[in-house]
Amino acid sequence: MDYINSYIEKNLNEKRKAHVYGVVKTAGELAAKYGCDPVKAETAALFHDMFRSTPVDVLNMYVRQLQLDPVLLDNANLAHGPIAAVIMERDYGIHDEDIINAVKYHTTGRAGMSVLEKVIYLADAIEPGRNYPTVDELRKTAAVSLDQACLDSMERSIEYIRERELFLHEDTIKARDYLKKKGEQNGL
């Protein structure tokens, strides 16, 4: 883990660093609570935003070189996770598929998310440094239901994206529909 820590120190500004360490802490806690490996959660959290401060032209170069989905071009918000997922395996020797997917889908979510994927998705939204009107409500929900908290967070993201007429990735819609259906089946 030394390599990723020194990468973070060198490449992320103070605000983003604090965010990453906040996600590490919250992901570890959520993992322990919801029955997945806290070390895996902390590892995914450390890597998840390694390209969050990278300029979009550099991200575009990665998208092309790594032959990722062209929908990621010119969209730093969507591209940073999928790029990190490839690079953490290629350059940092992380081969655990669940950790890689948690990083890959941390911005959009996806249908059929694993517990670890949901832990990272949610930790990203509620780590201690996050501050938006509904975050405390979301933290309360996170203390009782991982699925419901992820669903609430996705609904909020979809609303936010639509209000601002930003690009909404289909994986987010699919993730939301999946969690909604799952909740209805479980009588939530």
Is residue 64 a contact partner of residue 72, using CB atoms and an 8 Å limit? no
Which residues fall within 8 angstroms of residue 32, CB to CB, at 6 or more apart? 38
Select 25 or 180, whichever has its Cβ closest to Fe ion.
25
Q: Which is nearer to Fe ion, 49 or 147 (CB)?
A: 49
Nearer to Fe ion by Cβ, of 124 and 152: the residue is 124
Nearest distance from residue 187's CB to Fe ion, in Å? Answer: 32
User: Least distance to Fe ion from the beta carbon of 134, Å?
Assistant: 17
Tell me the two tokens of residue 92: 């940092």
- Residue tagged 């670890």 (tokens): 116
Minimum CB distance to Fe ion smaller for 82 or for 152: 82
Tokens representing 110?
Answer: 């996806």
| Cα separation, 177 vs 164, whole angstroms | 21
Find the shortest distance in angstroms from Cβ 106 to Fe ion: 6
Question: Which spans of this chain sit near Fe ion (rule: CB under 5 A)?
Answer: 49, 124
- Cβ(5)–Cβ(47) under 8 Å? no
Q: How far is the CB of 45 from Fe ion (least distance, A)?
A: 8
DSSP 127: S
CB of 52 to Fe ion, least distance (A): 5
Q: Which is nearer to Fe ion, 18 or 111 (CB)?
A: 18
In angstroms, the CA 66 to CA 80 distance is: 13
